[in-house]
Structure 1
Amino acid sequence: MIEAPAFGMASVWATHARFAPDKIAAICGTRQLTWAEFDRGTARVANALIRLGIEHDEPVALVMTNSLEMLEVMFGIVRAGACMVPISGLLTGAQIATMMADSGAKTVFVSSSNRALIEGANLPAGIRRIAIGFEAEGWEAGEALLAAAPDTDPAVRIQPDDRFNIIYSSGTTGLPKGIVQSHGARTHFAWSNALELGMTRESVTLVTTALYSNGTMFMVLPPLLLGATIVIMEQFSPSGALALIEQHRVTHAFMVPTQCIVTLDDAALGRHDLSSLKALLSAGSSLRPDTREAVIERMTPNVYELYGFSEGFATMRKPGDNPARPTAVGRPVLGFDMRIIGQDDREVPRGEPGEIVGRGLGMMAGYHNRPDLDAAILWRDEAGTEYLRSGDIGMIDEEGFLHIVDRKKDMILSGGFNIFPADLEAVIGQHPEVQDVTVIGIPHAKWGETPLALVIPRGTPEAAALLEWANARLAKTQRLAGLEFRAEFPRNALGKVLKRELRATFWEKAE
């Protein structure tokens, strides 16, 4: 019997380097890597880890900032057959220590800007700390470690069920919830999104969000699979993103709704040629209809909108879809299926709201060391087929498009009425002096809870006048109890507003 070839994207990367060695794989700032250099760089990381005794499937963490070095470390870990554990540098030292302990990682790569954070994290003495971009006592010099490692193929055999990574939510508090994704699932993610977004080996993608974030992988894994080019922003700015699109003739970019909003407000918009854009993907949270139309009119007509969750399900709305209802977020991405279920856990008819459940080839292997959560997230249909619960309320319309009603846990129950914040946000967001808005439920002595609007304003509107304007356009059961201005909202790595943090202040006071 013929032996099965080595599985995984690492073998594909080596092929790109062999047959297109001088093609540009990645750009960051004034530096760039050819595919030959990317191949050698990831090989050095992999061989260094193997020399250190890192075993197959062993978790290896990194707390790094966007750079070519981070890209090489991430996929060098994968190439070694280890399990990548990317951790946000925006967390506290205590949160990082908790995630490290939960994942079982005994090795961590750290950028110079995160050195103090890790030194203050009180990691156990046995943790190997590898410094990238600096040298210090108590740290292993990363540059020397990698320079001493061979740049030849480590020839690690990888199977589809092997762990590719453990992804933690950037806002995790208490017990961590690590999402385990296999090589098979990550490969499906790469080819399915490449097909859906129309990428080729000639594509140039723009990374505007943190490399440790799962959503960023839309602009990383597909081009790595195809042998295309990735442009990495060290830190996002609207003017910087617009300039890079023009400079590098970017074909595919990813921006969360917040980034779209601030880019629309930036003076640089209109000064740069964005005609190369074949796809501007938005995900992380739903685009308000007014924002979507403004992006189409002022940036590019090639707007793609994705709804999904890291556990493994997604829908996509494409430019040619033209749904009858403008709030549609698309149909399932290739390889996925979805259902809508009611409170009795039975599937509801088309047009009725309920919890979104999904399944497909990109599903997670499970939560790391949390079998209790694995059981809680599963829903089975009458045939016993397993789907994952999203925790989101949605509806499938007569055309087969999904519509997001709201997050199940964000729904406001006021006086017996269900109030969905997204409905209120869509109305308030239409006001010209509203840049961004989020609606939360706060305690109310009579109704249990009531909606409060928090607004990031344009200019200097009057809160009372804006509240009156909004309530005049809302149903009686939806009317706001108040409206407050904010300079910013707490957000996760993909710009999603952390409503639980906003609610906490009000509910703690009530208690």
Structure 2
Amino acid sequence: MSIITLESPFSTLPVLIAQHAIDRAEHPALIEDDQQMTYRQLDAEANRVAAALQRDGLKAGDAIAICGSNSINYAVLFVGALRAGLTVAPLAPSSSPESLLGMLADSASKLFFVDASVNKAIAGVRDRLSMPLLTLDNSGSERHFNDWLAEDGAQPAAVEITPEMTFNVIYSSGTTGEPKGIVQSHGMRWSHIQRGLTMGYGPDCRTLMSTPLYSNTTLVSFLPTIGLGGTVVIMAKFDAERYLKLAQENRITHTMLVPVQYQRIMARPDFDSYDLSSYMMKFSTSAPFHAELKADVIKRWPGGLVEFYGMTEGGGSCALAAHTYPDKLHTVGLPMEGHDMRVISEDGEELPRGEIGEVVGHSPAMMAGYLNKPEKTAEAEWFDSTGKRFIRTGDVGRFDEEGFLTLMDRRKDMIISGGFNVYPSDLEAELRKHPDLQDVTVVGVASTSWGETPVAYVVPFAGRSVDADQLQAWFNERVGKIQRLNRVIITDELPRSAIGKVLKRELRDQFQAEFGVLA
């Protein structure tokens, strides 16, 4: 690979893959179970996708939508669409059929690719689709992906891709309202590939991908791996035991996992029996990563550990090299190079270090805006006194004197009880000290006396018996009056999104429906 290409102000993923097809034609690009695709094959298959899209009348700037589990076909389709200059809208299979219809309309997708599971889920709304439906895994009675592809050896018409052209539209989870389409450009993605060089990605890296391709969490690891000529080992669905077996068998060097995946992997009694010595770097993002768990990963899992803090919308990001700063595991690290991050008050005034406020950020990697939602875009922006544009994170935090960022909570999750701010993260940290609890979360629910009051949902370790009243009494003796729990609810599992975020709004709604307003 030419270093000049990577150091250039701009290039594209399809260009890099075409170059890999010449420089390292037989090197494996994608591995899934017993399937393997080399860079020569990936380049040829991407050409077939791009040619098929052009044959069907799609042109640069048009969009397609993909909804299904991770697979080689998914990756091939994604790359081929980019080669044709199209926008990719990767959608979450966990979305409701009505929500999928809304995202398809919002993205103006011309084709919709699904797998068998999604095809079955949307059966009730299939007659309302305004675009052709194709099955990515060649299942069902709809047109199959393999049959749709252009003939072997097909060459698409060349398309000039510029930095401002849209690479993908990623939809927010919708856990806090209607999903919003986050527009990300080829220029933004090019910066992610270039950044991969500083994270150890390269021709010899082997990345184990077990988070979904519709998530930015996955793409920031997937793209530098194939962009820099490495190998991606694909898991369609995460399973801790299978993850460890694949890691050992494939001599994995890199991975991106969300905290709940680390939790499940580290909890396995046979973890230490696996040979993970090939690991160079492990990454995490998307949800709170607790200091105790980070410490355990550093101690028992070879290779470095870097936690990223940021948003799909872009703006400022922090990185914590946990193996380098073991005394800062309670933080999410320092702003990354070229990232300007600040804390602002409720009225939009910048606050000094040590003060608690909303985190905002500016960087080269920022969304163009929310698709078709200029008012939502405006709400997400903050401008400093010079007119510099920042993205609001919605997170509450503070910078310490050394510049490390400590997060408190999402603004929407902060509990205001009797006029005082109560941070659920503080309460959750105290709850985790109980030896019988595997997982915990705290939400604020309506109270006639306090406005809001804290309620804890807890998951005991298997085989452990926990009494809710005794746990509540244990906790309330350890905290201040304002922080005391009104109730403890024991459950088998906390509801989480596909990338591991606890769905607190779902718990609040569930509590309201079951118990109403507390005194």
1:98 partnered with 2:99: no
**CA distance in 2: counterparts of 1:85 and 1:15, whole angstroms:** 26
Equivalences for residues 420-431 of structure 1 within 5 A: 420-431=423-434
SS in 1 for 2:277: coil
1:188 partnered with 2:191: yes
Equivalences for residues 359-508 of structure 1 within 5 A: 359-458=362-461, 459-508=464-513
Equivalent residue pairs, number: 506
Residue 234 of structure 2 corresponds to which residue in structure 1? 232
The 8 Å contact of residues 116 and 140 in structure 2, kept in 1 or not, is answered as: no
**CA distance in 1: counterparts of 2:276 and 2:53, whole angstroms:** 42
1:68 partnered with 2:79: no
Query: Which deviations, in whole Å up to 9, do the C-alpha atoms of 1:163-188 show, x marking residues without a partner?
Result: 00110123357643110000001111
**CA distance in 1: counterparts of 2:474 and 2:280, whole angstroms:** 38
The 8 Å contact of residues 47 and 150 in structure 1, kept in 2 or not, is answered as: no
Letter of the 1:107 partner, please give it: L
Residue 296 of structure 1 corresponds to which residue in structure 2? 298
Query: Which deviations, in whole Å up to 9, do the C-alpha atoms of 1:157-216 show, x marking residues without a partner?
Result: 100000001101233576431100000011112222x14422222111111111111111
**CA distance in 1: counterparts of 2:54 and 2:123, whole angstroms:** 25
Per-residue deviation, 1:331: 1.3
In structure 2, do the counterparts of structure 1 residues 70 and 266 end up closer, same or farther at CA, with 3 Å as the change threshold?
A: same
Equivalences for residues 69-468 of structure 1 within 5 A: 69-122=73-126, 124=128, 126-134=130-138, 136-137=140-141, 139-148=142-151, 150-152=153-155, 154-171=157-174, 175-192=178-195, 194-300=196-302, 302-313=304-315, 314-322=317-325, 324-458=327-461, 459-468=464-473
Please identify, of 145-154 and 92-101, the stretch whose mean Cα deviation from structure 2 is larger: 145-154
Residue 23 of structure 1 corresponds to which residue in structure 2? 27
Letter of the 1:27 partner, please give it: I
Provide structure 1 residue ranges, at least 5 long, that are not aligned to the other structure. none
In structure 2, do the counterparts of structure 1 residues 99 and 464 end up closer, same or farther at CA, with 3 Å as the change threshold?
A: same
The 8 Å contact of residues 414 and 447 in structure 1, kept in 2 or not, is answered as: yes
* Length-normalised TM-score, structure 1: 0.95
The 8 Å contact of residues 109 and 130 in structure 1, kept in 2 or not, is answered as: yes
SS in 2 for 1:424: helix
* Length-normalised TM-score, structure 2: 0.93
The 8 Å contact of residues 166 and 186 in structure 2, kept in 1 or not, is answered as: yes
Per-residue deviation, 1:54: 0.7
**CA distance in 2: counterparts of 1:51 and 1:278, whole angstroms:** 43
Per-residue deviation, 1:243: 1.1
Alpha-carbon RMSD? 1.9
**CA distance in 2: counterparts of 1:152 and 1:172, whole angstroms:** 42
The 8 Å contact of residues 298 and 323 in structure 2, kept in 1 or not, is answered as: no
In structure 2, do the counterparts of structure 1 residues 334 and 118 end up closer, same or farther at CA, with 3 Å as the change threshold?
A: farther
Per-residue deviation, 1:432: 2.1
Per-residue deviation, 1:118: 3.1
Per-residue deviation, 1:47: 1.0
In structure 2, do the counterparts of structure 1 residues 61 and 295 end up closer, same or farther at CA, with 3 Å as the change threshold?
A: same
**CA distance in 1: counterparts of 2:288 and 2:474, whole angstroms:** 23
In structure 2, do the counterparts of structure 1 residues 433 and 198 end up closer, same or farther at CA, with 3 Å as the change threshold?
A: same
**CA distance in 2: counterparts of 1:342 and 1:312, whole angstroms:** 21
SS in 1 for 2:122: helix
SS in 2 for 1:270: helix
Per-residue deviation, 1:122: 3.6
Query: Which deviations, in whole Å up to 9, do the C-alpha atoms of 1:331-382 show, x marking residues without a partner?
Result: 1223321111112211101111110000111100100000001111111111
Per-residue deviation, 1:308: 0.9
In structure 2, do the counterparts of structure 1 residues 204 and 163 end up closer, same or farther at CA, with 3 Å as the change threshold?
A: same
**CA distance in 2: counterparts of 1:43 and 1:219, whole angstroms:** 23
1:50 partnered with 2:54: yes
In structure 2, do the counterparts of structure 1 residues 302 and 472 end up closer, same or farther at CA, with 3 Å as the change threshold?
A: farther
In structure 2, do the counterparts of structure 1 residues 375 and 466 end up closer, same or farther at CA, with 3 Å as the change threshold?
A: same
SS in 2 for 1:84: strand
The 8 Å contact of residues 48 and 149 in structure 1, kept in 2 or not, is answered as: no
**CA distance in 1: counterparts of 2:336 and 2:219, whole angstroms:** 15
**CA distance in 1: counterparts of 2:150 and 2:385, whole angstroms:** 57
The 8 Å contact of residues 45 and 149 in structure 1, kept in 2 or not, is answered as: no
Residue 5 of structure 2 corresponds to which residue in structure 1? none
In structure 2, do the counterparts of structure 1 residues 191 and 30 end up closer, same or farther at CA, with 3 Å as the change threshold?
A: same
**CA distance in 2: counterparts of 1:107 and 1:86, whole angstroms:** 12
In structure 2, do the counterparts of structure 1 residues 123 and 420 end up closer, same or farther at CA, with 3 Å as the change threshold?
A: farther
Query: Pick from 40, 44, 54: which aligns with 2:44?
Result: 40
The 8 Å contact of residues 453 and 484 in structure 1, kept in 2 or not, is answered as: yes
**CA distance in 1: counterparts of 2:127 and 2:191, whole angstroms:** 35
Letter of the 1:100 partner, please give it: L
Letter of the 1:460 partner, please give it: S
**CA distance in 2: counterparts of 1:467 and 1:126, whole angstroms:** 53
Letter of the 2:362 partner, please give it: R
**CA distance in 1: counterparts of 2:42 and 2:416, whole angstroms:** 53
Per-residue deviation, 1:145: 1.6
**CA distance in 1: counterparts of 2:434 and 2:291, whole angstroms:** 13
**CA distance in 2: counterparts of 1:288 and 1:174, whole angstroms:** 27
Query: Which deviations, in whole Å up to 9, do the C-alpha atoms of 1:273-297 show, x marking residues without a partner?
Result: 1111111212111211121122222
In structure 2, do the counterparts of structure 1 residues 134 and 10 end up closer, same or farther at CA, with 3 Å as the change threshold?
A: closer
Query: Which deviations, in whole Å up to 9, do the C-alpha atoms of 1:76-107 show, x marking residues without a partner?
Result: 11111110001111112111111111111121
Identity rate, percent: 39
Letter of the 1:255 partner, please give it: L
In structure 2, do the counterparts of structure 1 residues 484 and 265 end up closer, same or farther at CA, with 3 Å as the change threshold?
A: same
The 8 Å contact of residues 356 and 394 in structure 1, kept in 2 or not, is answered as: yes
In structure 2, do the counterparts of structure 1 residues 226 and 473 end up closer, same or farther at CA, with 3 Å as the change threshold?
A: same
Provide structure 2 residue ranges, at least 5 long, that are not aligned to the other structure. 1-7
In structure 2, do the counterparts of structure 1 residues 299 and 6 end up closer, same or farther at CA, with 3 Å as the change threshold?
A: closer
The 8 Å contact of residues 298 and 322 in structure 2, kept in 1 or not, is answered as: no
